[in-house]
A and B are shown apart, each in its own frame.
Chain A
Amino acid sequence: MLIEVAGLNKVYRTREGEDIHALSDVSFGVGEGEFVTVVGPSGCGKSTLLKILAGTLRRTSGGVHMRGRPIDGPSRDVGVVFQAPVLLPWRTVLENVMLPIEIQKRDREKFALQAQHFLKLVGLEAFSGKYPNELSGGMQQRVGISRALVHDPALLLMDEPFGALDAMTRESMNLELLRIWNESKKTVLLVTHSIPEAVYLADRVIVMSPRPGRISEIIKVDLPRPRPLEIINSEAFGRHVVAIRKHFQSLSALDA
């Protein structure tokens, strides 16, 4: 197992002194090279979970390990992508992708090639000298993905990376992400509130429910790979979607 989460709890204390139980007794594992998605309605603690794994948020109790070592802070072996691409507008596309290399003081020359490689992988090699405001939202997010991969991390954490994109762009980004995952052999943990997206991408889907955030079920997705987009119309795909949706019958916060 690359990641092991056991009995994880997170309690936020608000300014008013009120306690918010964001995560309650969350346990799961993620194997090397696995693609795991986390799905659940807004407010069920998905981002909280991801931040704890990224080492930017302290847990209240429980164990979180990566390759057997407790996660107590940000790691050089993790890449993150948020919903907003948050590129630095004064840096070119290439300079943005190189940000982790600069921060981690790695060999720039060597990783510049790596950066070019990932830009090519997301189809942006012609844009490496452009500035972010010259790019569309989908292109910016692809730059963000290249940035998360450039330092060759073992784990890629993605928090609703395509949540701000339109449906068409989103589909093609999903396809592209699977291609990148297939080529780069990374382990991916991706948060989404779209059930079809969760199923389409994942080896396993972690289904979460809110208040307090806990895991309702972990569903194995036994759809063959590679998965063409048409697979979402198949009966097997539909079965997975139904199995997940039954957890949210009373909730309308999720996409169909």
Chain B
Amino acid sequence: MSRASSEEHELIESGKPRTLAQTLREKPEIPLAVVLFVGLVGGWELAVRLFEIPKIVLPAPSAVALALWNGMQGDFLKHFGITFYETIAGFVLGSATGLVLGALISQFRLLERTLYPYIVAFQTLPKVAIAPIIVIWFGYGVTSKIVITATIAFFPLLANTIVGLRSAPQEQIELMVAFTATRWQVFRLARLPQALPYIFVGLDVAIVLSVIGAIVGEFVGAQAGLGYLILQKNFNMDMAGVFAILIVLSGMGIGLHLLVNAIQRRVVFWMDGSSDRVMGA
């Protein structure tokens, strides 16, 4: 009863501009989130001042904000650009490789049986552990960071592509074959579109991991980039600077994640938002 009447209520109201009070009533998480954020940051600021915590241990939010502001005027942008480039290039390289290899493996059993042991072995290797080797092979410049990022972005795409390309219902395939579809037509018209939701889950995981990959690469040895900058500021005990860079980094991660999601909603328009695809990492 109450459900029906509340739906009716919504129907009548929809279309009219919402008042602030209405929005607050329908989305109580928004004011809650604001309160939580203000409370956390305020409490942090207060704690730092009250207990006189040294700024090399924990900088006050105000100090972080100031460092962020100064960094933005200074060299943050340059280093951001480098890390961003490494992230994107590594992401594209790794996910494209994973996608193509996944497509081949899903279609040719022989390839799967021959390649899979190597792929599993490679995936179980911690990429942080092989990063120093890659830096030696590819140098201290951006190339080694791109390669490290690619090794991390590779697997989520590979795994999700394989599962996705095999997810088309058997009846669907049989129907297309009965209509005289060739193997390539079945792949193009049914398997590939069917795999897209899975592929996007892979892309989403991979893009976030790619930021980590670029930073790991820069930690191992670099002359520029946000990871390099973190190490430098850490060395100089500029904690506020380190925190400011962390904010920039998480901003980059969130931004890229949202971008992938926005593209997904456009491309995979027939699926509703909730995705229950396999994760790949």
Interface residues on A, range: 20 to 34
Q: A97 to nearest B CB, angstroms?
A: 12
Q: How far is the CA of A236 from the CA of B179 in the complex (A)?
A: 38
**B269 in the interface, Cβ–Cβ < 8 Å?**
yes
Q: Are B193 and A103 in contact (CB under 8 A)?
A: no
**Which of A80, A84, A86, A89 gathers most chain B CB within 10 Å?**
A86
Q: Are B270 and A76 in contact (CB under 8 A)?
A: no
Interface pairs (20), CB distance under 8 Å: A51-B174, A54-B178, A55-B178, A73-B180, A76-B180, A79-B179, A80-B175, A86-B172, A88-B172, A88-B189, A89-B270, A90-B269, A99-B179, A99-B189, A102-B189, A103-B179, A103-B180, A103-B189, A104-B180, A151-B179
Q: Are B270 and A131 in contact (CB under 8 A)?
A: yes
Known contacts: A80-B175, A82-B171, A103-B185. The answer to whether A90 contacts B180 by CB under 8 A is no
Q: Which residue of A lies closest to B177 (CB)?
A: A56
Q: How far is the CA of A90 from the CA of B178 in the complex (A)?
A: 20
Q: How far is the CA of A192 from the CA of B179 in the complex (A)?
A: 22
**A100 in the interface, Cβ–Cβ < 8 Å?**
yes
> Which residues 38-76 of A sit at the B interface, judged by CB distance below 8 A?
51, 54-56, 73-76
**B56 in the interface, Cβ–Cβ < 8 Å?**
no
The residues of B with any CB-CB pair to A shorter than 8 Å are 169, 171-172, 174-181, 185, 189-190, 193, 269-271
Q: How far is the CA of A234 from the CA of B209 in the complex (A)?
A: 70
**A169 in the interface, Cβ–Cβ < 8 Å?**
no
Known contacts: A86-B171, A88-B190. The answer to whether A80 contacts B178 by CB under 8 A is yes
Contact of B181 (CB < 8 Å), options: A82, A90, A103, A131 = A103
Determine chain B's interface SS by DSSP, over half rule.
helix
Determine chain A's interface SS by DSSP, over half rule.
loop
Contact of B179 (CB < 8 Å), options: A74, A89, A131 = A74
**A182 in the interface, Cβ–Cβ < 8 Å?**
no
Chain A residues, CB < 8 A from B176: 99, 103
**A133 in the interface, Cβ–Cβ < 8 Å?**
yes
Q: How far is the CA of A240 from the CA of B179 in the complex (A)?
A: 35
Chain A residues, CB < 8 A from B171: 82, 84, 86
Q: How far is the CA of A109 from the CA of B169 in the complex (A)?
A: 30
**Which of A80, A88, A100, A131 gathers most chain B CB within 10 Å?**
A88
Q: A60 to nearest B CB, angstroms?
A: 19
Q: Are A86 and B169 in contact (CB under 8 A)?
A: yes
> Which residues 70-119 of A sit at the B interface, judged by CB distance below 8 A?
73-76, 78-80, 82, 84, 86, 88-90, 99-100, 102-104
Q: B80 to nearest A CB, angstroms?
A: 37
Please give 14 more A-B residue pairs, beta carbons under 8 A apart, in addition to A103-B185, A131-B270.
A55-B178, A74-B178, A74-B180, A79-B179, A80-B175, A82-B171, A82-B175, A84-B169, A86-B169, A90-B193, A90-B269, A103-B181, A104-B179, A133-B270
Q: Which residue of B lies closest to A54 (CB)?
A: B178
> Which residues 148-173 of A sit at the B interface, judged by CB distance below 8 A?
151, 157
Q: How far is the CA of A75 from the CA of B169 in the complex (A)?
A: 22
Q: B119 to nearest A CB, angstroms?
A: 26
Chain A residues, CB < 8 A from B189: 88, 99, 102-103
Q: A77 to nearest B CB, angstroms?
A: 10
Chain B residues, CB < 8 A from A78: 178
Chain B residues, CB < 8 A from A74: 177-180
Chain B residues, CB < 8 A from A88: 172, 189-190, 193
**Which of B172, B179, B189, B269 gathers most chain A CB within 10 Å?**
B179
Chain B residues, CB < 8 A from A89: 270-271
Q: How far is the CA of A76 from the CA of B190 in the complex (A)?
A: 19
Chain B residues, CB < 8 A from A56: 174, 177-178
Q: How far is the CA of A80 from the CA of B189 in the complex (A)?
A: 18
Q: Which residue of A lies closest to B193 (CB)?
A: A90
Q: How far is the CA of A131 from the CA of B180 in the complex (A)?
A: 24
Contact string against B for A residues 236-252, beta-carbon threshold 8 Å, 1 for contact and 0 otherwise: 00000000000000000
Q: A140 to nearest B CB, angstroms?
A: 13
Q: A226 to nearest B CB, angstroms?
A: 30
Q: How far is the CA of A79 from the CA of B189 in the complex (A)?
A: 18
Q: B193 to nearest A CB, angstroms?
A: 5
Q: Which residue of A lies closest to B186 (CB)?
A: A103
Chain A residues, CB < 8 A from B185: 103
Q: How far is the CA of A199 from the CA of B228 in the complex (A)?
A: 79
Q: How far is the CA of A16 from the CA of B169 in the complex (A)?
A: 24
**Which of A51, A73, A89 gathers most chain B CB within 10 Å?**
A89
Chain B residues, CB < 8 A from A99: 176, 179, 189
Q: B185 to nearest A CB, angstroms?
A: 6
Chain A residues, CB < 8 A from B174: 51, 56, 82
Q: How far is the CA of A86 from the CA of B172 in the complex (A)?
A: 6
**Which of B180, B185, B270 gathers most chain A CB within 10 Å?**
B180
